[in-house]
């Protein structure tokens, strides 16, 4: 799900504090939570392609990061098939990484998963109107955390976000870190191609849909999940 401001005229109290663009229409009023997802205008099927791995990938340290914290990128290794299992307290999700289309992103995600970065973190946002996503990957749980580095968007040509799409969320446009969202249903509004799709759910959609259908803790259409969703571990193979 940059995303800085929600498009449309929303009540001041309904504007999210984060950056994942609110792609809602003028009539769609959504209550936001601090999150990396800020929806702007949103189009719609994440797809596998025969794209070759990019020749290079740049990871840039943030203010809190150092060069020693950065992932190492090897184009050939980064393009190898990758399967990921998100083990949560609500059930397991199996993901197929789009390594050929988004090698920089999948390399980063694998790097963080293998070092246990996501372990114990909470999915901090669920959206139940217009767009239907669960957002995770923030170790602080407030939509503002980063892993100590950022990297640029990729795989945006023709990008769309139907059910089962896993894509990067971000605090600032063009700067991806650790936060990501998973679509548990097709969006009702158009979504512009601004969030890097890097995986798709191949098993566990029932778990994901149940989380979304349970709604938010305060009954709003955009907030923290009513039932806490905790990532116990992320298995990469």
Cα–Cα distance, 154 to 176 (Å, whole number): 10
> In 3D, which of 226, 21, 18 has the Cα closest to residue 130?
21
CA distances (Å), origin 202, targets 83, 84, 94, 95, 208: 10, 10, 6, 6, 12
Low pLDDT (below 50) residues in the chain: 1-35, 38-54
Residues 6+ apart with CB under 8 A from 146: 62, 64, 65, 171, 177, 178
Q: Radius of gyration over alpha carbons of the chain, in Å?
A: 16
Cα–Cα distance, 20 to 171 (Å, whole number): 7
What pLDDT was estimated at residue 45? 35
**Cα distance between the two ends of the chain:** 25
Question: How many CA atoms lie less than 13 Å away from 168 in the CB half-sphere?
Answer: 33
Cβ count near 67 (within 10 Å): 10
The beta strands (E) that lie in 98-196 are given as: 125-129, 131-136, 149-150, 165-168, 180-183
Q: Are 199 and 85 contacting, i.e. CB atoms less than 8 angstroms apart?
A: no
Q: For the chain, what are the domain ranges? A: 81-189+196-236
What pLDDT was estimated at residue 25? 34
Model confidence pLDDT, tens digit, residues 29-39: 333 444 455 44
Query: Residue 132 pairs with which residues in a beta bridge?
Result: 128
Q: Which residue has the tokens 């992320």?
A: 234
Cβ count near 91 (within 10 Å): 14
Cα–Cα distance, 200 to 182 (Å, whole number): 8
What pLDDT was estimated at residue 36? 52
CATH architecture classification, 81-189+196-236: Beta Barrel (2.40)
Angle at 120 between CA 116 and CA 125, to 5 degrees: 115
């Amino acid at each position: 799900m940059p995303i800085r401001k929600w498009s449309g005229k929303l009540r001041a109290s309904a504007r999210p504090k984060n950056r994942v663009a609110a792609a809602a229409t003028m009539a769609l009023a959504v209550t936001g939570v601090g999150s990396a997802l800020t929806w702007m205008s949103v189009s719609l099927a994440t797809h596998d392609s025969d794209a070759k791995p990019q020749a290079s990938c740049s990871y840039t340290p943030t203010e809190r990061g150092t060069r020693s914290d950065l992932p190492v990128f090897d184009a050939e290794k980064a393009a190898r098939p990758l399967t990921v299992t998100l083990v949560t307290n609500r059930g397991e999700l199996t993901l197929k990484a789009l390594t050929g289309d988004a090698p920089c992103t999948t390399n980063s995600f694998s790097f963080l998963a293998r070092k246990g970065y996501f372990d114990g973190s909470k999915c901090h946002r669920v959206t139940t109107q217009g767009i239907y996503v669960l957002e995770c990957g923030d170790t602080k749980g407030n939509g503002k955390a980063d892993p100590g580095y950022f990297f640029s968007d990729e795989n945006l040509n023709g990008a769309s976000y139907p059910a089962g799409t896993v894509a990067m969320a971000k605090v600032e446009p063009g700067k991806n870190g650790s936060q990501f969202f998973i679509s548990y249903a097709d969006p009702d509004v158009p979504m512009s191609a601004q969030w890097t799709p890097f995986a798709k759910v191949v098993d566990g959609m029932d778990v994901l849909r149940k989380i979304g259908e349970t709604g938010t803790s305060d009954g709003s259409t955009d907030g923290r999940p009513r039932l806490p969703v905790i990532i116990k571990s992320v298995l990469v193979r």
